[in-house]
Amino acid sequence: MFDVGGITTGNTGSNDASLSSAISGGLDGDAFLMLLVAELQYQDPLNPVSNQEYITQLTQLTSVDELQSIRELLEDQVAKEVSDYNAQLLSMIGQEVTVLDNEIELQSGKDVELRFQAPSGVEVEVTLYDANGNVVRRETVSGSSSTWTSYTFDGRNDSGVTLPDGQYYARVSTLPDESGNVIDYSVFQIGRVVGVDYTGSMPILELENGQMVSVANIAAVHEAG
């Protein structure tokens, strides 16, 4: 049962103020209406609610209902958008993605395809570092005439020795000019999506090599193979 809080004829002189306070306190439309009916029921017969106050309170009730309906509509829209978004991510399982990421998860010496966008004919240096920042591989390649220039890291160092599994980092930059300045290019990787992790605040894609990448870093999605 709705508790009107012990309304008596001694506290009915501020109906409009009490209802306004009820709105700011977070009452919904039903509770607001019950409070309005209770105040009308227990009003002082010698000092009844004026027509202006009554109309004001009904207007407030209408506003409460409208705001509640708008909130419910927005909540439904957000829930639908989240559901659609999650469904789109699930549909990416089995697809190949190009992601912005210079961190490499090397597993069993498997090749890792790196991509970058360098002007055609421009010589760039691809440098691979281990987790301690030591250089393990360095090669010079030329920019491609296509949108992407590809470089395959075969998991070996400069001496051809297979590197241990673990985390490595890639850097792509132009050769130093006369002043020693270089231009760095963003490094992308290609991988097949095998899962989606929803446990965090934002969904994370799991690639075939065990690498976890943010959805925000996806540059392209294409058919596997």
Q: How far apart are CA 99 and CA 217, in angstroms?
A: 5
Tens digits of per-residue pLDDT, 190-223? 888 998 888 887 888 888 877 888 888 888 888 8
Which residue from 118, 212, 120, 112 is spatially nearest to 169, judged by alpha carbons? 112
- Asked if the model's pLDDT at residue 128 lies above 80, the reply is yes
Mean pLDDT of 129-146: 91
Q: What is the model's pLDDT at position 6?
A: 44
Local confidence band at 188 (pLDDT 50, 70, 90 cut-offs): very high
Which residue from 164, 62, 45, 68 is spatially nearest to 109, judged by alpha carbons? 164
Residue 183: C-alpha distances to residues 56, 115, 125, 170 (Å): 67, 16, 10, 14
Which of the two residues, 42 and 98, has the higher pLDDT score?
Answer: 98
Show Cβ contacts of residue 163 under 8 Å, excluding neighbours closer than 6 positions: 106, 109, 130, 136, 155, 156, 157
pTM for this entry: 0.58
Q: What is the model's pLDDT at position 111?
A: 87
Q: What is the model's pLDDT at position 3?
A: 46
Tens digits of per-residue pLDDT, 75-126? 777 777 766 777 777 888 888 888 999 998 888 878 888 999 988 888 999 9
Local confidence band at 138 (pLDDT 50, 70, 90 cut-offs): very high
Q: What is the model's pLDDT at position 2?
A: 39
According to CATH, what is the number of the domain 96-222?
A: 2.60.40.4070
Q: How far apart are CA 165 and CA 162, in angstroms?
A: 9
Q: How far apart are CA 157 and CA 124, in angstroms?
A: 18
Q: Kindly provide the residue ranges of all beta strands, DSSP E only, lying in 117-165, ordered along the sequence.
A: 123-129, 135-142, 149-153
Q: What is the CA radius of gyration of the chain?
A: 33
- Mean of all residue pLDDT scores within the chain: 78
- Asked if the model's pLDDT at residue 38 lies above 90, the reply is no
Q: What is the model's pLDDT at position 75?
A: 77
Q: Where are the domains of the chain?
A: 9-90, 96-222
- Are the CB atoms for 213 and 221 separated by under 8 Å? no
Local confidence band at 130 (pLDDT 50, 70, 90 cut-offs): very high
- Asked if the model's pLDDT at residue 157 lies above 60, the reply is yes
Q: What is the model's pLDDT at position 28?
A: 57
* Token reading at 167: 């985390």
- Asked if the model's pLDDT at residue 179 lies above 50, the reply is yes
Rounded to the nearest 10°, the torsion over CA 124, 130, 131, 133 is -60
Local confidence band at 9 (pLDDT 50, 70, 90 cut-offs): very low
Helix (H) or strand (E) holding 105: strand 103-106
Angle, helices 29-41/51-90, rounded to nearest 10 degrees: 160
